[in-house]
Structure 1
Amino acid sequence: MYVKGSLASQHVRENASIYVFVSLLFLIGIIFGAVIVNSMNPIQKHDLFFYLDRFFTEMLRESVASSESLFKSSFFYHLKYLLFIFILGLSVIGMPIIWILLFMKGVVVGFSVGFLVNQMGWYGLLMAAASIAPQNLIIIPVYLIAGSLAMIFSLSLIQKLVAKKIQQQSLLPALMRYSFIFLLLFLALNVAALIESFISPDALKNVIEMTYK
């Protein structure tokens, strides 16, 4: 256990610049998402909030999708998204797309939270805490790690290509480690999907009931 921990800490130290870069990219995406909210005109905000208000009303009537269907949707969404990042890490030229994916993840989070707070104040913040924060406490670190690992693996491939040292035998152990870590990340995302499907909707409904009293 200690050996594994020391290897992980050594890996983070050696690739700290990549992890910092990915985290900053995601943070810039969050800020950009919040800026988009502030740049919307009142008509756009009103129209978007109208649909959001209808969703809240439908939720109180319990006419939204079941938790099982939400989990199925979340499961396949995370599977496709993480698999896409995994493949981009193998493609050597996929790093710019990885950056875009992580940036857009940040934009979505920043816009979602920013819009709720902008339109509903403290109640919006409570809604964000109930419906967005719980699963994203797992989702955000997982995607940051996945994006960083994909970049690290892609850079290592580029270095070997430049040095002309790519051999099937030397590449296989690194590929196996890369695949195994992504499998663990996907299992973590399944926990987030369970929270998103079975816990967050009930928490959001409680906040909505309190808001619409």
Structure 2
Amino acid sequence: MRRHPLKSIVAVHMREHASMYLFVIVLFLMGVIFGSIVVNSLNFSQKQDLYYYLTQFFGQVSKGNLASAQDMFQQSYFHNLKYIGLMWVLGISIIGLPIILILLFLKGIVVGFTVGFLVNQMGWQGFLLSFVSVMPQNLIIIPAFIVMGVISVSFSLQMVRNQFMKRTHEPIFPMIMRYTMAMLVISVSLFVSSSLEAYVSPFFMKQIIQLIGN
């Protein structure tokens, strides 16, 4: 049975960059762990202040006093698009390679801190809230960022090899075109994640908050 060309490309990419994916995933998980540790390092007053703003936000959610779904979608999509766009630029710049890894680590910190704080302050109710408010879109966003990070690091290393190892020289224009196409494909997946964040997560959050309130 003949394999689909796209599946072949993905399989080859995953096989060639398996060690890099492992490194990036471990780096991201370290960020998640660090983010959850930061929650425990906050003093009582800091936790109380954050929890106050959190309860205010939940109050707005339960009353339906949030920004429109369209505004939320645009804000989420363009924020994530800027993030992968920055990775794309850093990959081309060569010297931005360590910053790509720092961005992935910071993303892990944000996820770890968000989930950790909700669970720390609200127990199983916080876990439920993080499950419906954080997880749906991040099931797409996190893999998208990891793939973009690996592609950006790989491209940057390839540029370095082109500069310093003349035997492996490859025309730069086709490289940039492939790199840009990969970013465009990832940007489509972010469209889906932003749709979940704007149209699905608020609905489930409202149901969970009302359930907790009762």
For the aligned pair, the TM-score class normalised by the smaller chain equals over 0.9
- Superimposed CA distance per residue, residues 77-123 of structure 1 (whole angstroms, 9 cap, x where no aligned partner): 11211111111110111111101100000000000000000111111
- Secondary structure in structure 1 of the residue aligned to 2:95: coil
Pairing partner for 1:105 from 104, 107, 119: 107
Report which stretch shifted further, 136-145 or 173-182: 173-182
The CA distance in 2 between the partners of 1:54 and 1:121, in whole Å, is 18
- 2:80 corresponding residue in structure 1: 78
Aligned-residue offset at 1:10: 2.0
RMSD in angstroms over aligned alpha carbons? 1.4
CA contact (8 A) 2:151 2:179 kept: yes
- 1:66 and 1:4, CA in 2 relative to 1: closer, same or farther beyond 3 A? closer
The CA distance in 2 between the partners of 1:166 and 1:83, in whole Å, is 27
| TM-score, with length taken from structure 2 | 0.95
| Matched-pair identity in % | 43
- 2:134 corresponding residue in structure 1: 132
| TM-score, with length taken from structure 1 | 0.95
Report which stretch shifted further, 158-167 or 174-183: 158-167
Aligned-residue offset at 1:165: 6.2
- 1:57 corresponding residue in structure 2: 59
- 2:96 corresponding residue in structure 1: 94
- 2:206 corresponding residue in structure 1: 205
Counterpart of 1:205 in structure 2: which amino acid? K
CA contact (8 A) 2:27 2:104 kept: yes
- 1:39 corresponding residue in structure 2: 41
CA contact (8 A) 2:36 2:117 kept: yes
Report which stretch shifted further, 175-184 or 158-167: 158-167
CA contact (8 A) 2:34 2:112 kept: yes
CA contact (8 A) 2:133 2:205 kept: yes
- Secondary structure in structure 2 of the residue aligned to 1:93: coil
- Secondary structure in structure 2 of the residue aligned to 1:65: coil
The CA distance in 1 between the partners of 2:59 and 2:204, in whole Å, is 15
What does 1:158-169 align with in structure 2 at a 5 Å threshold? 158-164=160-166
Aligned length: 212
CA contact (8 A) 2:140 2:189 kept: yes
The CA distance in 1 between the partners of 2:86 and 2:153, in whole Å, is 13
Report which stretch shifted further, 201-210 or 3-12: 3-12
- 1:182 corresponding residue in structure 2: 183
The CA distance in 2 between the partners of 1:11 and 1:56, in whole Å, is 43
- Superimposed CA distance per residue, residues 19-60 of structure 1 (whole angstroms, 9 cap, x where no aligned partner): 111111100000000000111112111111011001111111
Report which stretch shifted further, 52-61 or 104-113: 52-61
- 2:195 corresponding residue in structure 1: 194
- 2:119 corresponding residue in structure 1: 117
